[in-house]
Each structure stands twice: as C-alpha cells, then as structure tokens.
Amino acid sequence: MHIDKAKENVANKNETSKKFVSLLDLPRKSRFWPLLGSGTHEKWAEMREMEPKGKLIHFYYAFTIPGLDNKIEAMESLLAELRDGVGDSESLSVTGDHSYMIAPIINVLGYYYYGKGDKEKSKSLFEEYISLYPEGYNPYDSMGEFYFNEGDMDQSKIFYEKAIEKFFGATPANEKLRELNKEE
C-alpha cells in the first residue's frame, strides 16, 4: 500500500524522484532496504548521473559502490566537495549548506580505513568525528567500537559509557557495555 502511494506521489515528478522510489521495487534482502542492498548501487549510479550535484545521492552512490578502495575514493571526493569546495565542476553544489553531512562522512571513512587496515587513519577520523559532533552519542560509540576491536576494553568501556551519557537509549553502546561488564 505505501509503495503504491509513493509511486503515485512521484508519477508527475522529475525522473530522479521516480528513480528513488524505484528502490522500493528491489527485493528486501538487507536490513537497510531500500537504501542499501542488492541492486541499489545501480540505481544510485543512475540518480548520480541525472543529478550530479545531489549530495545525498552522492553519499549513497559512494556508500554502495563495490570495492573498499572505490568507496574511500568516492567518499573522500564528496568530503572534498563539501569541506573545501573542490572537485568536478559538474558535481560541486551550487545551493544549500551541506556541512551537516561532513561528520557522518568522517565516521564512515573511519570504518572504511579500519576495514582496510589503516588503524592510525581510522582512529584519527573517529577523533575528528568526536570534535565535529561532541554532543552526539554516535561518535563515542564509534570510538568505543574502535577500541573494542583493538582489544583495549578499558578505553572501549570509557567511550561506550560516554555514548550512553549522551543518549541513554544508544542500543549498540548499551549492548557492548553489558558485554564488557560481564567480562570483568
């Protein structure tokens, strides 16, 4: 019912809106459906071609592109556009303030670099994320996860506690903290 209504609502809209709603036609094989999952990159790539200045489109294009190095390159390109105003003139935004996207991009890059094995760069990015968004809980959750994965449970616990201090409903932080407290 909701999918049909979404299609009805974009019937007379631009092609990008129609393409976005077409994500709803993809199979529900991901907990992040319809934004992420099987077949989504092709849709985001088509939307990126239609709207090269669309920053949210660029973000999901970068997030879904196959290959870790490709993800890093595309996400860093988006970051350079938002932070420094440098990049392909076809992609640079001409309207709106998209600075709110910088902190989440830094966070994603932190995970990508960790996945690539560059832990120093990853840690630096998570520290930058904390400095950009000190009142949020997720930066502390990400740093807690970094230390957890590194085996430094004391530091991990400190950051998970800080995440919960910022937002008591932080489910991942609460779960990890329970796990850490059981190990003591």
Q: Is residue 75 part of a domain?
A: yes
In Å, what is the CA distance from 133 to each residue of 17, 78, 121, 127?
A: 31, 19, 18, 10
Q: Is residue 2 part of a domain?
A: yes
> pLDDT tens digits for 150-179?
999 999 999 999 999 999 998 999 999 999
> pLDDT tens digits for 108-158?
999 999 999 999 999 999 999 999 999 999 999 999 999 999 999 999 999
Query: Could you tell me the residue range of the domain that residue 18 belongs to?
Result: 1-51
**In a shared domain, residues 145 and 99:** no
Q: Is residue 16 part of a domain?
A: yes
Q: Is residue 59 part of a domain?
A: no
Give the type of residue at 93: S
Burial class (CB in 10 A: 0-12, 13-18, 19+), 112: buried
> pLDDT tens digits for 59-89?
999 999 999 999 999 999 999 999 988 777 7
Give the type of residue at 119: K
Q: Residue 182 belongs to a domain with what CATH number? A: 1.25.40.10
pLDDT band at 6 (very low <50, low <70, confident <90, very high): confident
H or E stretch at 172: helix 171-183
Q: Is residue 125 part of a domain?
A: yes
SS3 (DSSP) at 99: helix
**In a shared domain, residues 123 and 148:** no
Q: Is residue 43 part of a domain?
A: yes
Q: Is residue 56 part of a domain?
A: no
User: How far is it, in rounded angstroms, from Cα 22 to Cα 16?
Assistant: 10
SS3 (DSSP) at 97: coil
Burial class (CB in 10 A: 0-12, 13-18, 19+), 100: exposed
pLDDT value for 34: 86
**In a shared domain, residues 123 and 160:** no
**In a shared domain, residues 47 and 101:** no
The sign one gets for the Cα dihedral 126, 131, 133, 135 is: positive
